[in-house]
Chain A
Amino acid sequence: MSDNKKLVDEVLGENLLDHEYDGIMELDNNLPPWWLYMFYGTIIFSIIYSFYFFGMGDFNQQDELNTEIAVAEAQIAKYKEKNGPGIDENSAVLLTDAAQLEDGKAIYAKNCVACHAANGGGGVGPNLTDDAWLHGNTINDLFKVIKYGVPEKGMIPWESQLNPEQIQNVASFILTEFKGKNVKGGKAPQGS
Chain B
Amino acid sequence: MSGQIEKFYYDNKIVKLFAFATIFWGVVGMLVGLLVALQIYIPALNFNLEFTTFGRTRPLHTNAVIFAFVGNGIFTGVYYSLQRLLKTRMWSDKLSMINFWGWQGIIVAAAITLLMGFTTSKEYAELEWPIDIAIAGIWVVFGWNMFATILKRRERHLYVAIWFYIGTFVTVAVLHIVNSLALPVSFLKSYPIYAGVQDALVQWWYGHNAVAFFLTTPYLGLMYYFVPKAVKRPVYSYKLSIIHFWALIFLYIWAGPHHLLYTSLPEWVQTLGVVFSVMLIAPSWGGMINGLLTMRGAWDRVRDSAVLKFFVVAITAYGMSTFEGPMLSLKSVNAISHFTDWTVAHVHIGALGWNGFLTFGMIYWLIPRMFKNKLYSQKLANAHFWIGTIGILFYALPLYWAGFTQYLMWQEFTPDGFLAYPNFLETVTQILPMYAMRSLGGALYFTGVILFVINIWKTVKTGSFEANEAAEAPALEKEYFAGLGEHWHRPIERKPVRLLIFALIVILIGGAVEMMPTFLVKSNIPTIEAVKPYTPLELQGRDIYIKEGCNNCHSQMVRPFRHEVERFGEYSKSGEAVYDHPHLWGSKRTGPDLAREGSKKLRKSHSWHYNHMFDPTTMSPGSIMPRYPWLMFKDIDVKSTTSKMAVMQKLGVPYTDDEIKSGKENLKAQAEQIASELKEQGVKEADANKEIIALIAYLQRLGSDIEKTAKN
Interface residues of A (CB under 8 A from B): 1-2, 9, 11-12, 16-17, 19, 21-32, 35-36, 38-39, 42-43, 45-46, 49-50, 53-54, 60-62, 64-65, 68-69, 72-73, 75-76, 79-80, 83, 86, 110-111, 113-115, 123-125, 149, 151, 153-157, 160-163, 187
- Report yes or no: A11 in contact with B1, Cβ–Cβ below 8 A: no
Q: How far is the CA of A149 from the CA of B414 in the complex (A)?
A: 22
- Bitwise, B561-573 to A at CB < 8 A (1) or not (0) is 1100111000100
Residues of the A chain whose Cβ atoms lie less than 8 Å from the Cβ of B247: 39
Residues of the B chain whose Cβ atoms lie less than 8 Å from the Cβ of A25: 228, 234-235
Q: Which of B345-394 contact A (CB under 8 A)?
A: none
Give 17 pairs: A residue, B residue, CB < 8 Å, sorted on A: A1-B1, A11-B298, A21-B85, A24-B159, A24-B234, A25-B228, A27-B234, A35-B285, A39-B279, A43-B279, A50-B271, A53-B268, A110-B423, A149-B600, A151-B601, A160-B418, A163-B414
- Report yes or no: A160 in contact with B422, Cβ–Cβ below 8 A: yes
Q: Which of B294-314 contact A (CB under 8 A)?
A: 296-298
Residue among A2, A125, A156, A160 with the highest chain B CB neighbour number at 10 A: A160
Question: Known pairs A17-B238, A163-B414. 20 more at Cβ < 8 A?
Answer: A21-B85, A22-B84, A22-B229, A24-B159, A24-B234, A25-B235, A28-B238, A35-B286, A39-B247, A39-B283, A45-B278, A46-B276, A46-B279, A53-B271, A60-B267, A64-B560, A68-B562, A69-B565, A114-B608, A151-B603
State which of A11, A21, A62, A80 has its C-beta within 8 Å of the C-beta of B416: A80
Q: How far is the CB of B672 from chain A (nearest CB, A)?
A: 19
Q: Which of B138-146, B525-533, B614-622 faces chain A? A: B614-622
- Report yes or no: A9 in contact with B234, Cβ–Cβ below 8 A: yes
- Report yes or no: A49 in contact with B274, Cβ–Cβ below 8 A: yes
State which of B235, B238, B415 has its C-beta within 8 Å of the C-beta of A79: B415
Q: How far is the CA of A46 from the CA of B274 in the complex (A)?
A: 8
Q: How far is the CA of A75 from the CA of B415 in the complex (A)?
A: 8
Interface residues of B (CB under 8 A from A): 1, 81, 84-85, 87, 155, 157, 159, 225, 228-229, 233-241, 243, 247, 262, 267-268, 271, 274-276, 278-279, 281-283, 285-286, 289, 296-298, 326, 413-419, 422-423, 483, 560-562, 565-567, 571, 600-608, 611, 618-621, 681-682
Residues of the B chain whose Cβ atoms lie less than 8 Å from the Cβ of A114: 608, 618-621
- Report yes or no: B608 in contact with A24, Cβ–Cβ below 8 A: no
Residues of the B chain whose Cβ atoms lie less than 8 Å from the Cβ of A42: 278-279, 281-282, 326
Residues of the B chain whose Cβ atoms lie less than 8 Å from the Cβ of A16: 234
- Report yes or no: B419 in contact with A161, Cβ–Cβ below 8 A: yes
Interface pairs A-B: 5 shortest CB-CB: A154-B605, A161-B422, A39-B282, A46-B275, A11-B297
Residues of the B chain whose Cβ atoms lie less than 8 Å from the Cβ of A163: 414, 416, 418
B611, closest chain A residue (CB) = A124
State which of A30, A73, A123 has its C-beta within 8 Å of the C-beta of B239: A30
B297, closest chain A residue (CB) = A11
Q: How far is the CB of A11 from chain B (nearest CB, A)?
A: 4
A124, closest chain B residue (CB) = B607
Residues of the B chain whose Cβ atoms lie less than 8 Å from the Cβ of A79: 415-417
Q: How far is the CB of A51 from chain B (nearest CB, A)?
A: 10
Q: How far is the CA of A96 from the CA of B286 in the complex (A)?
A: 71
Q: How far is the CB of A160 from chain B (nearest CB, A)?
A: 5
A-B contact count (CB 8 A): 183
Q: How far is the CA of A103 from the CA of B606 in the complex (A)?
A: 30
Q: How far is the CA of A61 from the CA of B260 in the complex (A)?
A: 13
- Report yes or no: B155 in contact with A65, Cβ–Cβ below 8 A: no
A60, closest chain B residue (CB) = B267
Residues of the B chain whose Cβ atoms lie less than 8 Å from the Cβ of A26: 234-235, 237-238, 241
Q: How far is the CB of B248 from chain A (nearest CB, A)?
A: 11
- Report yes or no: A49 in contact with B275, Cβ–Cβ below 8 A: yes
- Report yes or no: A61 in contact with B281, Cβ–Cβ below 8 A: no
Q: How far is the CA of A22 from the CA of B578 in the complex (A)?
A: 54
Q: How far is the CA of A156 from the CA of B596 in the complex (A)?
A: 13
Q: How far is the CA of A86 from the CA of B417 in the complex (A)?
A: 11
Residues of the B chain whose Cβ atoms lie less than 8 Å from the Cβ of A32: 237, 240, 289
Q: How far is the CA of A90 from the CA of B286 in the complex (A)?
A: 67
Residue among A2, A124, A149 with the highest chain B CB neighbour number at 10 A: A124
With A27-B236, A76-B416: A35-B159 Cβ-Cβ less than 8 Å:
no
- Report yes or no: A53 in contact with B237, Cβ–Cβ below 8 A: no
With A72-B562, A76-B417, A79-B416: A29-B567 Cβ-Cβ less than 8 Å:
no
Q: How far is the CB of A166 from chain B (nearest CB, A)?
A: 9
With A38-B282, A38-B285, A61-B267: A24-B601 Cβ-Cβ less than 8 Å:
no
Q: How far is the CA of A69 from the CA of B562 in the complex (A)?
A: 6
- Report yes or no: A154 in contact with B417, Cβ–Cβ below 8 A: no
Residues of the A chain whose Cβ atoms lie less than 8 Å from the Cβ of B565: 65, 69
State which of B81, B282, B608 has its C-beta within 8 Å of the C-beta of A35: B282
State which of A35, A73, A111, A115 has its C-beta within 8 Å of the C-beta of B423: A111
